[in-house]
Amino acid sequence: MTIANQFVTGLSIGAVLLLIALGLTFTFGQMGVINMAHGEFIMAGAYTTYMVQSFAGDQAVPVALPVAFLVAGGMGLILERLLVRRFYGRPLDTLLLTWGVSLVLQQLAIDLFGAPNVQVTAPGWLRGGFDLFGVTVLYNRLFMMALAVSGVVGIWLYLTRLSAGRRMRAVMQNRQLAAVSGVATNRVDQLTFFIGSGLAGVAGVALTLIGPVGPQIGTYYIVDAFLVVVAGGLGQLRGAVIAAVALGLLNSYVELWTNASFAKVVVFAVIVGFLQVRPQGLFVLRSRALT
């Protein structure tokens, strides 16, 4: 049943990638910002959980979820207001800018918490697992999948049922037309950055369930998250879901037969090959344009 067990592991990896990529889907897809500091928002969520543990004990994970969302979202909002807003329309400049910010935040984490990794104690109800037709399903992996599903449903409801979400979709489809139609694009950008960064913080909370927390925790996942966004199609929620699950399963099975480093190489090579065939990703935003 090893192959079946790896399927569950792959789904949990895909769930984490999806939580991370949900924010990038909109900041990159809508605003054209290549935010390399997104990984440090993951780190902020993880360290928030570690700090919450000091008063919440082994219930730190559920208590930290809303706190991490607000902390990481606030960091993203500050980054957008102080720096990123000056570089809209210049994606390569945003890459260099946010890469520098990520290095500063990593050093700040080292100064505050130290270089050694720290550990977060999982709640008792997230320890252990159960057997399902001979497959071992761990409670913490199941919780991560539930978080990802909740994130997708929440974003879908926000985009389709709320006026703020419809304004976000309008800016994503045609920023200039939305602006002349009365949509406050600056406020939409702020809210988009806040939500996207907050979701990264939630992903950081989830990552504390499967390993220690360190200053480089975000850098391990940020490249894969960008691959999910590009492969799924810029700004496409369903594409991000499919790409995240596919990459998680691919990484899990390749790692089973080889090792973690080689699995990263294989995943990257597969995505590069896929983009050679379909450079626009799985799905593309349809719009009317003059030809």
pLDDT tens track for 155-185? 999 988 899 888 888 887 777 888 888 888 8
Domain membership flag for residue 112: yes
Buried b (16+ CB within 10 A) or exposed e, 49-66: bbbbbeebeebbbebbbe
Assess whether pLDDT exceeds 70 at residue 75: yes
- pTM, entire model: 0.91
Q: If you average pLDDT over residues 251-267, what whole number do you get?
A: 84
Say what the pLDDT of residue 290 is: 42
Domain membership flag for residue 287: no
Domain membership flag for residue 283: no
Domain membership flag for residue 291: no
Domain membership flag for residue 108: yes
Domain membership flag for residue 208: yes
Assess whether pLDDT exceeds 70 at residue 235: yes
The continuous run of DSSP H or E covering 135 comes out as: strand 135-138
The CATH number of whichever domain residue 202 belongs to comes to 1.10.3470
Side chain identity at residue 286, one-letter code:
R
How many domains are there within the chain? 1
Say what the pLDDT of residue 173 is: 76
- Which domain range does residue 63 map to? 2-277
Domain membership flag for residue 290: no
Q: If 0-12 CB within 10 Å is exposed, 13-18 middle and 19+ buried, where does residue 268 land?
A: middle
Question: Which tokens hold the place of 207?
Answer: 């990552």
Domain membership flag for residue 15: yes
